[in-house]
Amino acid sequence: MIGSDFYLDDPRPADGPPVIVGAGPAGIRAAQTLLAHGLRPVVIDEAPKAGGQIYRRQPDGFSRSAKDLYGFEAGRASDLHQTFDRLRPQLDYRPETLVWNAQGHSLDLLHTAQRTADSLRWRDLIVATGATDRVLPLPGWTLPGVYTLGGAQVALKYQGCAIGDAVVFAGTGPLLYLVAYQYAKAGGRVLAVLDTAPAVQRYKAAPAMLAQPAVTAKGVYFLSWLMFHDVPVHHGVQLLRAEGADRVQALVWKDAQGAEQRTACSAIGLGYALRPETQLADLLGCAFAFAPLHRCYVPQIDADRRSSVPGVYLAGDGAGIMGADAAEMSGELAALALLQDRGIATDAARQAKLRQQLDKTQQFRQALEVAFPFPEDWAARAPDELVVCRCENITAGELRATAASQPQGDINRIKALCRVGMGRCQGRMCGVAATEILADTLKVPVAQIGRIRGQAPIKPLPLDMTVLPQDQEASHG
């Protein structure tokens, strides 16, 4: 070891309440489980209300029912919200709080409303940071009016708005059909649903998908409903570009027969399933590995959701996209592992059951990849003038040119040279696309490109934030 006076010295505390980061389905079930076993967790939530993205609660003063907001998931959503509300007095709940850094056994917090900062030490930590949309850009995607599928869903669920008065939904994944259905049902004008997955893929996936008949039935229902209500649904499409002067006015695409189509519209909802938010796990020092199922690097976990770092457990989509139902299960399982590791008696049969159910979800998840495959030809087709990094305005051409000089293909080096991923979003929106283009340019597997190294702050910090007085215990330098 090289000599330094600046080694991090922040050993794991001997005790302290368990800390949960994230209050979506995984975080809520984790909190519930810990409470049921006599612990009082701290729950840190970036949002003002618990629920995460999928079960995001409407602001005060809004009036829609759970059924209106969450459709078939109304029961689950209500149960989670009511559970949280009931348990809240027993929790140490910290809403509107961003975890911007992990250093040793400290989490650095920004209280976003007050713009104040402090630090929280932990002995045991459940990271349930969830997911965002997985984005593959198309020319024109930075135009006003182009939003992610998840974003389109949030606009409707959280604000009662459609992203435009005439919307095209495009990409692939089960969310594509769900959001289109929700829009049409709410009275929005849905011009078309454009799925890059060839129609035949659904049939290939069908046998495996029947392992989860209820979930599959819902997907079939959405598609049938859309078709019954004369919403054009196209499979096997290729998305070419979004057109417009100062905002989107049309989507140009190719149908399965290769004919070019132009759909005039005022908004596009775009997405290819989800990607995990792993920055906190990265800063905590968790080991990562490439997961072919997710086509990205995810933090490693054992069967009970323990990460490679003692005391850190990973629940929900933040460790790999498995869906909301799996998030509830993995939240509970992570909490049970935490309890077990603390020497508190847990129900081994329950743990076994959860593991088994999660395995089944894994199989279904694999079927979804067959039904809605990642468009592997996307990178080869991406034109040089396509803006890949929307924060820094870096094109595919610039990325390719830089890659040509870096045959070893290290994405962090390429980022340093051409600035992709160096903007405010730190690679969330461009990371997947950049990785695909690099792999395609260098003719190497996606895994070889690596992943963008996580750096604090996890999200932008205001320079004028006020640091709250720290007690001796809280700050380990």
Partner 1 sequence: MVKQLATEVVVIGGGIMGASTALFLRKRGIQVVVLERDLCGSRSSGVNFGGVRRQGRSLAMLPLSQRAHQHWGRLTELIGTEAEYERSGHFKIARSQADMESLVRYAEKTRDCGLDLQLLDGAALHKRFPVGGAKVVGGSFCPDDGQANPRLLSPAFATAAARAGAQVLEHTPVLEVAHNGQRFVVRTPEMEIRANVVVNAAGAWAGQFAEQCGEPVPMRIRPPAMGVTEPLPFFLHWSLGVEGGSIYCRQVRRGNVVFGGGPGLVLDDTRTRNRHTTVWAQLPQLVELLPQLKNAQLIRTWSGNEGALPDHEPIISASSRQAGLYHAFGFAGGGFQLGPGVGDVMAELIAEGRSSTPIDAFRIDRFNDPACST
Partner 2 sequence: MAHAIPLLPAGQLQRLKEQGRQPLQFVLNGQPAQALQGDTVLTAVLTQSAQLRSHEFAHTPRAGFCMMGACQDCWVTLGGEQAGRKLRACSTLLQAGMQICTSAEAVAAANATQVQP
Residues in touch with partner 1 (CB under 8 A): 1-8, 101, 103, 106, 108, 117, 119, 285, 405, 408, 410, 413, 416-417, 422-424, 426, 455-457, 460-465, 467, 475, 477
235 lines the binding site for partner 2 (CB under 8 A): no
Q: Are strands 106-111 and 116-121 parallel, antiparallel or unpaired?
A: antiparallel
Using the minimum distance from each CB to partner 2, give the nearer residue, 129 or 351: 129
For partner 2 (CB under 8 A), the number of binding residues is 65
Q: Which does 163 bind (CB under 5 to 8 A by kind): partner 2, partner 1, none?
A: partner 2
Give the shortest CB-159-to-partner 1 separation in angstroms. Answer: 25
SS3 150: helix
SS3 179: helix
Encoded one letter per residue, x for contact with partner 2 by CB under 8 A and - for no contact, window 139-168 reads ---xxxxxxx-xxx-xxx-xxxxxxxxx--
391 lines the binding site for partner 2 (CB under 8 A): yes
With CB under 8 A as the contact rule, which of the stretches 86-94, 257-265, 311-319, 436-444 interacts with partner 2?
Answer: 257-265
Q: Of 103, 105, 107, 143, nearest to 22 (Cα)? A: 107
* Joined tokens for residue 33: 């489980």
C-alpha dist (Å) from residue 392 to 38, 358, 440: 48, 39, 22
User: Pick from 233, 267, 333, 379: which binds partner 2 (CB under 8 A)?
Assistant: 267
User: What span, in angstroms and rounded, lies between the C-alpha atoms of 275 and 428?
Assistant: 9
User: What span, in angstroms and rounded, lies between the C-alpha atoms of 369 and 426?
Assistant: 27
Alpha helices in 277-424 (DSSP H): 279-283, 324-341, 348-371, 378-381, 396-404, 411-418
With CB under 8 A as the contact rule, which of the stretches 262-270, 296-304, 317-325, 358-366 interacts with partner 2?
Answer: 262-270
Give the shortest CB-425-to-partner 1 separation in angstroms. Answer: 9
Is the Cβ–Cβ distance between 256 and 237 less than 8 Å?
yes
Sign of torsion, CA 11 15 21 24?
positive
Q: Which does 60 bind (CB under 5 to 8 A by kind): partner 2, partner 1, none?
A: partner 2
Q: Which does 61 bind (CB under 5 to 8 A by kind): partner 1, partner 2, none?
A: partner 2
Is the Cβ–Cβ distance between 24 and 54 less than 8 Å?
yes
Burial class of residue 86 (count of CB atoms within 10 Å of its CB; 0-12, 13-18, 19+): exposed
Other CB atoms within a 10 A radius of the CB of residue 13 amount to: 15
Give the shortest CB-459-to-partner 2 separation in angstroms. Answer: 7
Within 64-128, strands assigned E span 92-94, 97-103, 106-111, 116-121, 125-127
Tokens 């979004």 sit on residue? 242
The HSE-up count of residue 380 (CA atoms within 13 Å, CB side) is 6
Q: Which does 133 bind (CB under 5 to 8 A by kind): partner 2, partner 1, none?
A: partner 2
387 lines the binding site for partner 2 (CB under 8 A): yes
* Joined tokens for residue 185: 């049902």
With CB under 8 A as the contact rule, which of the stretches 45-53, 301-309, 326-334, 465-473 interacts with partner 2?
Answer: 45-53
Q: Of 373, 372, 375, 363, nearest to 209 (Cα)? A: 363
Positions 311 through 370 that interact with partner 2 (CB under 8 A):
none
Using the minimum distance from each CB to partner 1, give the nearer residue, 90 or 393: 393
The letter for the amino acid at 12 is R
With CB under 8 A as the contact rule, which of the stretches 28-36, 200-208, 264-272, 296-304 interacts with partner 2?
Answer: 264-272
With CB under 8 A as the contact rule, which of the stretches 263-271, 328-336, 338-346, 351-359 interacts with partner 2?
Answer: 263-271
Angle (deg, nearest 10), helices 74-87 and 324-341: 30
Using the minimum distance from each CB to partner 1, give the nearer residue, 362 or 406: 406
Encoded one letter per residue, x for contact with partner 2 by CB under 8 A and - for no contact, window 424-463 reads xx--xx-----------------------------xx-x-
Residues forming the site for partner 2 (CB under 8 A): 46-47, 53, 58-64, 68, 112, 132-133, 142-148, 150-152, 154-156, 158-166, 186-188, 191, 246-247, 249-250, 261-267, 277, 387, 390-393, 423-425, 428-429, 459-460, 462
